[in-house]
Amino acid sequence: MPMTADLRSVTVLVPGKLHPHAVERIGRTFRMVCIDQSDPALVTAELRDKVRGIAASPAVDKSFLGADFMHALPNLEIITNFGVGYDGVDAVYAGRSGIVVTNTPDVLTEEVADTAVGLLISTVRELPRAEAWLREGKWVSKGNYRQSPLTLRGRTVGIFGLGRIGLAIARRLEAFGLAIAYHNRRPVEGVAYAYHATLKGLAQAVDTLICVVPGGASTEKAIDAEVLAALGKEGVLINIGRGTTVDDDALVAALHGGVIAAAGLDVFAEEPNIPPILLDAPNMVLLPHIASASVHTRKAMADLCVDNLVSWFSQGKALTPVPETRHVKAK
């Protein structure tokens, strides 16, 4: 298997925005070229001939690395995706075309799980509202903030997507003394949590639903009016996966109608544009997609993104290929 001795001779394309640490490392390790977005019209004859790698954050800049863009780069070998979710990349097409796609699992698992638990507690105990009460002087002028109608005590948690992050969340919530159940496409080996074959069945069995699944057609609006009704009037929904998984209209109607009790969201379908119906909904805690957004974790993600490039072009193997492209071998 031939390896590239001089990585500076390898052209890596960065379409759109990418973490500065990743950009700095790519710039001093490879021949880096940046373009505004993943638009085939921006691919020059030189790029067409020379680009062998792509490093991108398609979920961040709302671009899509699709078949047309990959087709415009016939010498492309690898796409390193900054983030665990890679629905911004057509990985199926990449796999069929001999292009490996990588993501950044594990390095953000604990940070995201921490945020999920923090969002759950903030939602149930109304912590942002309580802080606003203090800051607005109402503690002095109107007295104590109200007792929160909800509590974490005695809750049963259902996790939609028991992968690495889902398991990390489950471990944390077990320490809170909470019962755990889950729904995946199939049961996870080696776990004792109750498995439910359908999402509605999971929602019926719990009063707290945490969504951790990736985006894509198979999960689009999976949490709909029927699932929310099954969750019930004491129900709490937490979403740290992808905004497209929740039917926003159904969620808002459920909150206004008392179908569920509260919701906490860190992700949205059209980030950063949040629909007014969500901003105005009652009993809602909203975060600007910060689950992995610590300096420590984002730097680790950037390093893994670049390490995949280095490993591919120096050793002929990717460190964290996504399932659709694990079969791809270096040319």
Residue 8 banded pLDDT, cuts 50, 70, 90? very high
Question: Is 289 designated active site?
Answer: yes
* Active-site entry in 155, 183, 242, 298: 242
**CATH code of residue 30:** 3.40.50.720
For 16-68, the three-class secondary structure string (H helix, E strand, C coil) is CCCCHHHHHHHHHHCEEEEECCCCHHHCCHHHHHHEEEEEECHHHHCCCECHH
- Same domain for 229 and 206: yes
Q: In this predicted model, what pLDDT tens digit does every residue of 311-326 receive, in sequence order? A: 999 999 999 999 999 9
Residues 140 and 60 placed together within one structural domain of the fold: no
Which residue has tokens 């490392």?
25
Structural domain range at position 280: 109-286
Does 331 reside within a domain? no
H or E stretch covering 181: strand 179-183
Judge whether residue 5 has pLDDT over 70: no
Residue 70 domain-assigned? yes
Tell me: do 198 and 186 sit in the same domain: yes
Exposed / middle / buried, residue 217 (Cβ in 10 Å: 0-12, 13-18, 19+): exposed
Q: What is the pLDDT of residues 209-246, one digit of tens each?
A: 999 999 889 999 999 999 999 999 999 999 999 999 99
User: 185 and 270, same structural domain?
Assistant: yes
Instruction: Clarify whether residues 65 and 150 are in a common domain.
Output: no
Specify the pLDDT at position 216. 87
Share of the chain above pLDDT 70, in %: 97
Q: How many domains does the chain have?
A: 2
| Residue 1 located in a structural domain | no
| 296 annotated active-site | no
**Given the residues 289, 296, 324, 327, the one annotated as active site:** 289
Do 321 and 241 sit in the same domain of this protein?
A: no
Query: Catalytic pick from 271, 296, 298, 327?
Result: 271
Tell me, what's the pLDDT at 64? 84
Q: Is 298 a catalytic residue?
A: no
